[in-house]
Structure 1
Amino acid sequence: MISVRDLKKVYDSFTALQSVDLEIEDGEFIAILGPSGCGKTTLLKLMAGFMKPTSGEVIIDDALVASPRQLTPPEERNIGMVFQSFALWPHMTVREHVMFPLLHHRFTAKDLKKNMRERVETVLELVGLKQLAGRYPAELSGGQKQRVALARAVAALPRLLLMDEPLSALDVELRMEMRREIQRIHRKTQSTIVYVTHDQSEALAMADRIVVMNEGRIEQVGTPEAVYTKPETEFVAAFVGKCQLMKGTWEEGVFIPEKLPLERWKDHGVSVKLKKKGFYPVRPEQWRLAPGGERGEGGIVTLVQYQGKEIHYTIQVENEEWEVHDSVYSPRFYVGDEVSLSLRSFAETREAALV
């Protein structure tokens, strides 16, 4: 178990982390999600042991590993690291990269050291690199290099695997492939994974829980579904799922949107913070479009983007632009069309997502 308690990190006059508290269970896959400069990489570095916190502490398996007065360096922690830049050694083959932690990691179990060659072959098989074991990094593609970095990190079966935006340098197809690879490795090794990313789709697809950060603070912690469907703050609503924060009035658990006064929306778990500010978060796929003049108030289509199974519309409603994602099997609208908008029920939203 990892405990982060009241953690703060200050660089000169800049506060990178502000009183962060977090508990991570053994075997969990945690994604730390947020924009550039939000403090997520600083938090990862403090967990790894690359620097001391200004205040607070990090505890791993009941042992204090970081505080303002104490720091256990990375090599003395049972961790593996995967970096954005791969960090491979040009003079070592793929097999030598995988063998390195087995030879030098102080926490490598005796049975792994005893059966080192067998373990190397098992890990190479796990990441699909058995046929490339004799190659050097210069002879590998980007995806293959990332697999080597993963193999090296998991070879010694560390208790904690830290990943700092490991897929950001890869193209879209490779990222999708490597997501599946990382999930498969997690299931096989049962290591605890802390995965830093700015990509919400990665976090939603892979993590058991997501930690959403902004300006050095944790905004929300929860399952991917909870973070996506029930954002607790304005930032989470806008950053994860690109919600439209509708302004309006709450009356006895029912929301009356300011710009759609004919609508009455039920409370499906809107947070207290958003209610107090008179907001109701609506995701793009929750909107129902109809030709102008039908029930509901509306606007004008200003942009249409075909996305395969979805059409992404931009709707001008007075002085605002609202995003709407609709199925290609729904009635089609075009730039300049007048449309009315209403809110789908949660059942309709789920049904539309399955089409």
Structure 2
Amino acid sequence: MSIQLTEVSKTFGTFQALKSLNLTIEKGEFIAILGPSGCGKTTLLRLLAGFEQPTTGEIRMNRQVAAKPGFSLPPEKRHIGMVFQSFALWPHMNVTEHVRFPIRHHQETPAHIRDKEQERIASVLQMVGLSQHGTRMPHELSGGQKQRVAIARAIASEPSLLLMDEPLSSLDAMLRMDMRREIQSIHRQTGTSIVYVTHDQSEALAMADRIVVMKDGGIEQIGAPQDIYLRPQTEFVAKFVSKANLIRGRWNHDRFVPAGADGSVEWQGSRVAEYFKSCGLYPVRPDQFQLDSPDPSGIPGEVTNVQFQGKEFHYHIRTEDGQWEISSPRQFHLRDKVSLQLPASEQL
């Protein structure tokens, strides 16, 4: 399903939850909607699902108007599947009955699926790794298995659009990694368009074809995961997605001289967004800096906090410009004097 939002906004009383959004989602695309709590992610998802009407603007699905002020195509006529954060399983139905329900009750279920219901149920359960658990009740399942049932139910009727609202947030770290792979595999097998709402940067970066970063009801940046992470266009995206340090200094065309250096340190920045150049800033991710013993060719600093993370250490380094976050495989100790350099290979 292709989707087009044109100047879509949504207000609740005096509060504006969404501000004139323009977004196109191509057929079969995996889009992650990424942002902090309260940025409008779930409101956008509810508009796509048909649970809310836009205050202004228009939503088209497969070129047909699905919503505009005063009109909204009901959810049951949109041929969508939805996966909720809370699983939302029915306690009186076993796994097979959960998968059967949308096949029988969704108006848009294709005839070839209705005619071969048992085959479809078996296929979907195999897809999510639950072939041996069809007779189990929800209380007999683990958290990961419950989430698989929720996904199986959502895709059973072969929806054109799958909406996922923070589906992994209630799972532990290892289960989240497993379920990411499952969702990616299902997307490859079904070719269904997916809109995936999350506040977890790693989920969005790992799975999506494109990421829509939202803040305060508006879109900050849209792009491929690599572009969002490596080439942020605003301060919010730099800090929220790649947790960049915003280094102050002065720009001379595409060359940057950081504050705190003796003037001889200069970084290339031809791909740094104009926003940062206009503000006298240079975004540097924690893993881009090279941390060394004191060296006059680098920026001097002092270690103020250390966290061991297995393959690397996470440091807080105090410099003349402020406190920066650095990741490095080299070990230093609290109050050690260090030197920070940005290798040419890491300069934008």
Give the alignment's TM-score, normalised by structure 2.
0.97
Spell out the pairing of 1:193-204 with structure 2 (5 A cutoff): 193-204=194-205
Report the Cα distance in structure 1 between the residues aligned to 2:306 and 2:343, rounded to whole angstroms.
20
Name the structure 2 match of 1:337: 336
Name the structure 1 match of 2:293: 291
Name the structure 1 match of 2:128: 127
Report the Cα distance in structure 2 between the residues aligned to 1:132 and 1:16, rounded to whole angstroms.
41
Name the structure 1 match of 2:303: 301
Spell out the pairing of 1:136-155 with structure 2 (5 A cutoff): 136-155=137-156
Name the structure 1 match of 2:323: 321
Report the Cα distance in structure 2 between the residues aligned to 1:294 and 1:212, rounded to whole angstroms.
39
Q: Secondary structure at the match of 1:203?
A: helix
Name the structure 2 match of 1:206: 207
Amino acid at match of 1:87: A
Name the structure 2 match of 1:61: 62
* Contact 1:8-1:18 within 8 A present in 2 as well: yes
Name the structure 2 match of 1:10: 11
TM-fit CA distance, 1:293: 3.5
Which 4+ residue blocks in structure 1 deviate beyond 6 angstroms?
none
Report the Cα distance in structure 1 between the residues aligned to 2:57 and 2:224, rounded to whole angstroms.
26
Report the Cα distance in structure 1 between the residues aligned to 2:47 and 2:32, rounded to whole angstroms.
16
Deviation per CA, 1:257-295, whole angstroms, max 9, x where unpaired?
122333211114111112111111000011011112442
Count residues in correspondence. 346
Q: Secondary structure at the match of 2:250?
A: strand
Name the structure 2 match of 1:353: none
Name the structure 1 match of 2:99: 98
* Contact 1:262-1:297 within 8 A present in 2 as well: no
* Contact 2:31-2:208 within 8 A present in 1 as well: yes
Report the Cα distance in structure 2 between the residues aligned to 1:95 and 1:4, rounded to whole angstroms.
36
**Uncovered stretches (5+) of structure 2, i.e. residues with no partner:** none
Give the alignment's TM-score, normalised by structure 1.
0.95
**Uncovered stretches (5+) of structure 1, i.e. residues with no partner:** 350-355
Name the structure 1 match of 2:114: 113
Report the Cα distance in structure 2 between the residues aligned to 1:150 and 1:268, rounded to whole angstroms.
44
Report the Cα distance in structure 2 between the residues aligned to 1:44 and 1:256, rounded to whole angstroms.
43
Report the Cα distance in structure 2 between the residues aligned to 1:120 and 1:156, rounded to whole angstroms.
10
Structure 1 residues 268 and 283: alpha-carbon distance in aligned structure 2, compared to 1, 3 A threshold: farther
Report the Cα distance in structure 1 between the residues aligned to 2:216 and 2:314, rounded to whole angstroms.
30
TM-fit CA distance, 1:238: 0.5
Structure 1 vs Structure 2 CA RMSD: 1.3
State, as a whole percentage, how many aligned pairs show the same letter: 55
Q: Secondary structure at the match of 1:309?
A: coil
Name the structure 1 match of 2:282: 280
Q: Secondary structure at the match of 2:60?
A: strand
Structure 1 residues 347 and 277: alpha-carbon distance in aligned structure 2, compared to 1, 3 A threshold: closer
* Contact 2:242-2:285 within 8 A present in 1 as well: yes
Deviation per CA, 1:164-200, whole angstroms, max 9, x where unpaired?
0000011111111100000000000000000000000
TM-fit CA distance, 1:23: 0.4
TM-fit CA distance, 1:347: 6.0
Spell out the pairing of 1:248-263 with structure 2 (5 A cutoff): 248-260=249-261, 261-263=263-265
TM-fit CA distance, 1:319: 6.3
Deviation per CA, 1:110-164, whole angstroms, max 9, x where unpaired?
1111111011001000101111110111111111110000000011111100000
Name the structure 1 match of 2:76: 75
Amino acid at match of 1:208: D
